[in-house]
Amino acid sequence: MARFFNVSGRCRPDDHYMLPPGPRLPMVKDLVDRKAYFVLHAPRQVGKSTTLYTVARELTREGRYAAILVSMEVGAGRASDPDAAELALLSDWRADIRDQLPVELQPPPWPRAPSGQRIGAALEAWSRACPRPLVVFLDEIDSLKDEMLISVLRQLRSGFGRRPEGFPWSLALCGMRDVRDYKVKSGGSERLTTASPFNIKDDSLTLQNFTLAEVGTLYQQHTADTGQVFLPEAVSRAFELTSGQPWLVNALARQITQVAVRDRQTSIVATDV
């Protein structure tokens, strides 16, 4: 199947045009090597999940780590029942793990643990059983609210001292906000009612919009695959209209190439944009 410009969900290199993650987040692998716990925060649809997913696959493929991206979003629908939220999260993680890691790197059965300790117990059991250092990226962390968010952050902080044998070697929280900006109530001004629930972070990273050169590089992939050229004036106009916001850059190109200018022999000019 031919690749295309993606506007829904994570990008996959076999299916979609995408920029390599390394230049966008050059510090991640260094932080992992240093056993760091860190935060990646940026607005929606700038490529956070795609970037961390790709980095996790690269780390695992290189053979030193077992690296995984799992989502915390399933727990958001059960904020009033932390017990059910933890069970839902661990069940959802299991599916992601089966999809991303070979059998020998997958965790043992999740251990029995009291409510409010299941996430930490699962990460500890997996870290002790895994033949490689475990690297975990927790996506959509700020979809959790209230006591559930506090509970997860405290479990991570509690296990931090047991790493790397008894807790993940490196771990990242991925969301729209830095930890210092997490609020107990969505849209409210109240801060988390706890002292530094994640004071173990080494660094906070963010993703910027694409540069003009990066927009050109992305659009050039379409040219390489199909022969259809985005003229420099079209690339400049696309950058001007989108400010390099990744979803807009992809959505605009998708509309042009799939609707407005379907003839691959026709070059794309500024007026098409």
Give residue 235's pLDDT. 98
Phi-psi bin for 12: left (phi > 0), alpha (psi -120 to 50), beta? beta
Phi-psi bin for 114: left (phi > 0), alpha (psi -120 to 50), beta? beta
The dihedral of CA 53, 58, 59, 61: what is its sign?
Answer: positive
Between 104 and 179, the higher pLDDT residue? 104
CA distances from 258 to 147, 222, 224, 255, 263 (A): 46, 12, 16, 5, 9
Q: How confident is the model at residue 184 (pLDDT cuts 50, 70, 90)?
A: very low
Supply φ then ψ for residue 111, to 5 degrees: -75, 155
Give residue 171's pLDDT. 97
Q: What is the mean pLDDT of residues 250-258?
A: 97
Instruction: Kindly tell me if the per-residue pLDDT of 185 is higher than 60.
Output: no
Task: Tell me the whole-structure pTM to 2 decimals.
Answer: 0.87
Q: What is the mean pLDDT of residues 71-82?
A: 79
Q: What is the 3-state secondary structure (H, E, C) of 165-190?
A: CCCCCEEEEEECCCHHHCECCCCCCC
Q: What is the CA radius of gyration of the chain?
A: 21
User: What is the spatial distance between Cα 174 and Cα 142, in angstroms, rounded to a whole number?
Assistant: 8
Provide, rounded to the nearest whole percent, the portion of the chain with pLDDT above 90: 70
Instruction: Kindly tell me if the per-residue pLDDT of 186 is higher than 60.
Output: no
* Joined tokens for residue 271: 């007026």
Q: To which residue do tokens 């070979």 refer?
A: 102
Instruction: Kindly tell me if the per-residue pLDDT of 205 is higher than 80.
Output: yes
* Joined tokens for residue 36: 């760091």
Provide, rounded to the nearest whole percent, the portion of the chain with pLDDT above 70: 91
User: What is the spatial distance between Cα 110 and Cα 81, in angstroms, rounded to a whole number?
Assistant: 20
Q: What is the pLDDT of residues 3-43, one digit of tens each?
A: 999 998 888 888 999 998 778 888 999 999 999 999 999 88
User: What is the spatial distance between Cα 8 and Cα 27, in angstroms, rounded to a whole number?
Assistant: 26
- Asked whether the beta carbons of 146 and 185 are under 8 A apart, the reply is yes
Going across the sheet that includes 203-205, the strands are 66-71, 134-139, 170-175, 37-41, 203-205
- Asked whether the beta carbons of 202 and 38 are under 8 A apart, the reply is yes
Q: What is the pLDDT of residues 79-117, one digit of tens each?
A: 668 888 999 999 999 999 999 999 999 999 999 999 999
Q: What is the mean pLDDT of residues 144-168?
A: 91
Q: How confident is the model at residue 198 (pLDDT cuts 50, 70, 90)?
A: low
